Chain A
Amino acid sequence: MMNSIILNAATRLLAALLLLFSVYMLLRGHNLPGGGFIGGLIGATGFVLYAIAQGSEATRRALYYEPQNIAMIGLGIALASGVYAVFFGDAFFTGQWWFIGDRDTGDYVPISSVLFFDIGVYLVVFGSILTLVLALEEEV
């Protein structure tokens, strides 16, 4: 933890921006550079910055959930999105797609089990890094 007013003030804004950006990167990942790994890393960076400025205790409060639980839930979501395909007679981890809207005009929102898998990856990366960083910070 560093006692720097500039860092402190800047962090509040930066952490929020990084989180927002991480979600953006996650969602665009299927068609443009990005995805769960990158999104999770960016999100974690936001909180790591927060931890440097505000200390690990404040970061844990801000996270609300234990980071290792977040990682485990992410793993669970990824597994569930993979198992989901089995109920439709496909092999594990076969992507299942729904297109909300009109596909012919291109005016639609694609939702898929793959997206949930990516969200799972995001949470795993996010949670695992924060587990490590916070534990390290508290230990040292």
Chain B
Amino acid sequence: MPWVYGGPAGWISVAIPAAIFAYFLQFVAPVAAGTPVILGFDWVPSMDIRLSALIDGLSLTFVLLISGIGTLVTLYSTKYLGNHPEYPRFVLFLMMFMVGMLGLVLADNLIALFVFWEITTISSYLLIGFTSDEAKSRRSALQALLVTGTGGLALLAGMILLGNVAGSFELSEIIQRGDMIRAHPLYVPIVILVLAGTFTKSAQFPFHFWLPNAMAAPTPVSAYLHSATMVKAGVYLMARVNPALGSTDLWFWVLIIAGGFTTVFASILAIRQTDIKQVLAYTTLMALGALTLFIGAGTADAIKAMMLFLVVHSLYKAALFLMIGIVDHETGTREAPILRGLRRKMPITFLGGALAAISMAGIPPFFGFIGKEFLYKAGLEMDTAMLWITGTIFTASVLMFAAAGIAVLRPFTGQLAETPKAPHEGPWAMWICPLILGTLSLGFGLFPDYAEAWLIAPGTWAVYGDYSYEVDIYLFREVNAAFILSLVTFAVGTVVYLIHQPLRDWLGRVFAANPIKFDPGWDRVLDGLKALAAWQTNILQSGVLQRYIFVIFATFAVGVGWTIWAQDALNFQMDWAAEFDDLLFKHWAVLIFLTAGAILTAFTQSRMTAIAALGVVGIGVALIFIMFSAPDVAITQLLVETLVVVLVAVAMLKLPHLGLVAQRKRRPVHAVLAVAVGTITTLVLVAVLQAPLDRRLTDYFEVASWPEAFGKNIVNVILVDFRALDTFGEIAVVVIAALAAYALLRGTRYGASDDTNREDRT
């Protein structure tokens, strides 16, 4: 029923983010008044784990962006992918991502934040690889997963250190202990590990290469995850921990160098692209770089500019992605050189795109102009030695101006050109999304006070850590250096746009000559890793069972034997003769029975005899259990022994004869090892018995078994009640082992035909 997906069922996916958006609107007023809200409930009270949400200006801004843009993106997707056979799966991944992202920005607990962080990584992987039948999608998805996932592991380590140093895993407490954390000797490792996580997530140079590749995802996903929300998770975390980790030289230099370089590098690469979606991807990188740069700069004005630019960018960039999605959907191409003159065919899309593009270009009275102005102001107010920061932003703004032209002006103006599909306007559910976002860019530009009061001011307070700082944003007040710089930006930007085609060709030649290529380099790193894995697997996994067992027992003998010797564990007196005198006739009988079975197992020529003799040993052990009144263990031992004999007997049919000459050569070595393991085990057991038996647990279970668990069989009561969680873990292992063995057995059967597929899958 494909019509249901795009229709009624699709609407549910729109209603969920819309409801979340509506719910969180109630927090705007208290947060704007400067009082963060902390929600939460005790999750595992016995272990002091709380699931808590911190709603301050920063997280609320993110929540409203995530749910608001999420509403538009899901609405857009009902038409963009509504007829796709995998649409339900798409919605599932998108919702999963949204939950992860909301949890990430709301979490007050570092560990909870990390869990949500990984959820966004995984859902991003699933969404980038959504068109899983294309090798390019799969490669891009895996690349994004590995880059951000590796960063995530570093982040986890950093968070654990941070939590231990701060003495709390609650962010609301950590950000109040900044001085203590900065003075701690572990401060440098914490910063490095946390930044490894945030830089990979937010695609800062040199981890930038996964983001343009992530554009293999469907366009609504690119708009949502890889522009407006997920890639800003790294920025979010840096902003979040800024009060705790910021304002040191290390933080300052790392952030402004990585951020500044990413900004310029990405905006130059943006001009180089012909695919408009790639142009937008690189300008997103540029924006992420600028956000990082300004968090690093760390002055109150810089933080204010950062918060402002964050909102500005999310609004216009999501709109532009959605716009290019419509163009792609209705014309079949996204190539800038091909697309021309679409304004008459797609007027409303053009309108929405144009509003967003003007904001991106930073032209008044749009929100983007304010964003750029405040970036300039913050840059100019810093130390004159830091003037290059302004220069960075100036370069980026010029190139953004040109990129806005390439993305919207060029495809929609001029003579209508031939496209793969005859162009026409998209459905309303699609064009309304860029239109709404574009209108918001204009609206906030004309009335910046609302954006300031609701989002920017509370956000700045939260990141800067000072609730008394007066945030004031405005469209225009006077002609100052920043305003003049804006005018120069427009002039240079226009020139760059006019010459962008020759410029692109020239850049193409420059980059082709450049020997350092990140994306192919990534392939080489992966190839190297695979080769390393293959090499060590060949060494460790010989595939010969005998060798494995030999290594296991040898390790046991050396490890335990050495420990006994080193710890001097055999330093006790024991009256062996008296011990033997205590043995009854039945004990002797079982002992002889056991020993006879073991000797027969070792010396027989027939495999069947060996198995049966081994069974005899097992039964002897079961008899010992019975004599010392452990019926449950004895029964289990007996049954397992029976089943093992059956299993081995079945498998035996395929095994070679025991008396092979090759095996016999090693028998002396094996015999030595066997004697050693046997001796050491005996010595360990004897040594253990020297210590008095601790009966505390036994006494407890004996007393508690009936009144607390209503059972008289203590062994079983322990298994299913007192230690049920352990038992659950064990049976889970049993199932996993059985399934793994099943897969292995089946895998060898169909191995030949599977190999071709496997090659393709990796």
| Chain A complexes with chain B | yes
Residues of chain A with a CB closer than 8 A to B745's CB: 135-136, 138-139
Seed contacts A35-B720, A93-B725, A133-B650; 6 additional CB < 8 Å A-B pairs: A35-B715, A36-B720, A44-B643, A71-B738, A82-B725, A136-B651
How many A-B residue pairs have C-beta atoms within 8 angstroms? Tell me: 144
Residues of chain B with a CB closer than 8 A to A23's CB: none
Residues 710-750 of B, flagged 1 when their CB comes within 8 A of A and 0 if not, give 11110111011100110110011011011101100110110
List residues 610-665 of chain B with CB under 8 A from any CB of chain A. 631-632, 635-636, 639-640, 642-643, 646-647, 650-651, 653-654
CB–CB B710/A110 < 8 A: yes
Distance A128 CA – B651 CA, assembled complex (angstroms):
17
Task: Count how many chain B residues have C-beta atoms less than 8 Å from C-beta atoms of the other chain.
Answer: 43
Residues 57-85 of A, flagged 1 when their CB comes within 8 A of B and 0 if not, give 00000000000100110110011001000
List residues 93-136 of chain A with CB under 8 A from any CB of chain B. 93, 95, 97, 110, 112, 114, 117-118, 120-121, 124-125, 127-129, 131-133, 135-136
Distance A132 CA – B738 CA, assembled complex (angstroms):
6
Distance A128 CA – B317 CA, assembled complex (angstroms):
53
Task: Count how many chain A residues have C-beta atoms less than 8 Å from C-beta atoms of the other chain.
Answer: 50
Q: A31-B712, A32-B713, A45-B639 are in contact. Are A133 and B647 (CB under 8 A)?
A: yes
Interface assignment of A41: CB less than 8 Å from any CB of chain B: yes
Residues of chain B with a CB closer than 8 A to A136's CB: 647, 650-651, 745
Residues of chain A with a CB closer than 8 A to B650's CB: 133, 136-137, 140
Partner of A82, one of B647, B715, B728, B738: B728
The 24 sampled A-B contact pairs (Cβ below 8 Å) are A30-B710, A30-B716, A30-B717, A30-B720, A31-B712, A33-B635, A33-B713, A33-B715, A34-B716, A35-B720, A45-B639, A48-B646, A71-B735, A95-B721, A114-B720, A114-B724, A117-B720, A117-B727, A118-B716, A129-B738, A132-B738, A137-B650, A139-B745, A140-B651
Which of A30, A78, A120 counts the most B-chain CB atoms under 10 A from its CB? Answer: A30
Identify the B interface with A (CB < 8 A). 46, 631-632, 635-636, 639-640, 642-643, 646-647, 650-651, 653-654, 709-713, 715-717, 719-721, 724-725, 727-728, 731-732, 734-735, 737-739, 741-742, 745-746, 748-749
Q: A124-B735, A136-B650, A140-B651 are in contact. Are A41 and B643 (CB under 8 A)?
A: yes
Which of B46, B713, B716, B737 counts the most A-chain CB atoms under 10 A from its CB? Answer: B716
Distance A95 CA – B738 CA, assembled complex (angstroms):
28
B312 to chain A, nearest CB (A): 46
**B640 and chain A: residue at smallest CB distance:** A41
Residues of chain A with a CB closer than 8 A to B709's CB: 95, 114
**B749 and chain A: residue at smallest CB distance:** A139
Distance A124 CA – B732 CA, assembled complex (angstroms):
8
Distance A45 CA – B645 CA, assembled complex (angstroms):
11
CB–CB A33/B728 < 8 A: no
B558 to chain A, nearest CB (A): 32
Residues of chain A with a CB closer than 8 A to B748's CB: 139
Residues of chain A with a CB closer than 8 A to B715's CB: 33, 35
Main secondary structure of the interface of B (DSSP, over half): helix
Residues of chain A with a CB closer than 8 A to B710's CB: 30, 95, 97, 110, 112
Which of A92, A125, A128 counts the most B-chain CB atoms under 10 A from its CB? Answer: A128
B702 to chain A, nearest CB (A): 14
Interface assignment of A29: CB less than 8 Å from any CB of chain B: yes
Residues of chain A with a CB closer than 8 A to B735's CB: 68, 71-72, 74-75, 124, 127-128
Interface assignment of A38: CB less than 8 Å from any CB of chain B: yes
Residues of chain A with a CB closer than 8 A to B712's CB: 30-32
Interface assignment of A52: CB less than 8 Å from any CB of chain B: yes
Distance A119 CA – B761 CA, assembled complex (angstroms):
39
Distance A27 CA – B647 CA, assembled complex (angstroms):
27
CB–CB A34/B713 < 8 A: yes
CB–CB B738/A118 < 8 A: no
Distance A68 CA – B745 CA, assembled complex (angstroms):
14
Which of B46, B635, B640 counts the most A-chain CB atoms under 10 A from its CB? Answer: B635
A80 to chain B, nearest CB (A): 11
CB–CB A35/B646 < 8 A: no
9 closest Cβ contacts across the A-B interface?
A128-B738, A93-B724, A41-B639, A33-B631, A31-B712, A35-B716, A30-B711, A124-B731, A131-B738
Residues of chain A with a CB closer than 8 A to B654's CB: 140
B634 to chain A, nearest CB (A): 8
B708 to chain A, nearest CB (A): 8
Distance A95 CA – B711 CA, assembled complex (angstroms):
11
Residues of chain B with a CB closer than 8 A to A95's CB: 709-710, 720-721, 724
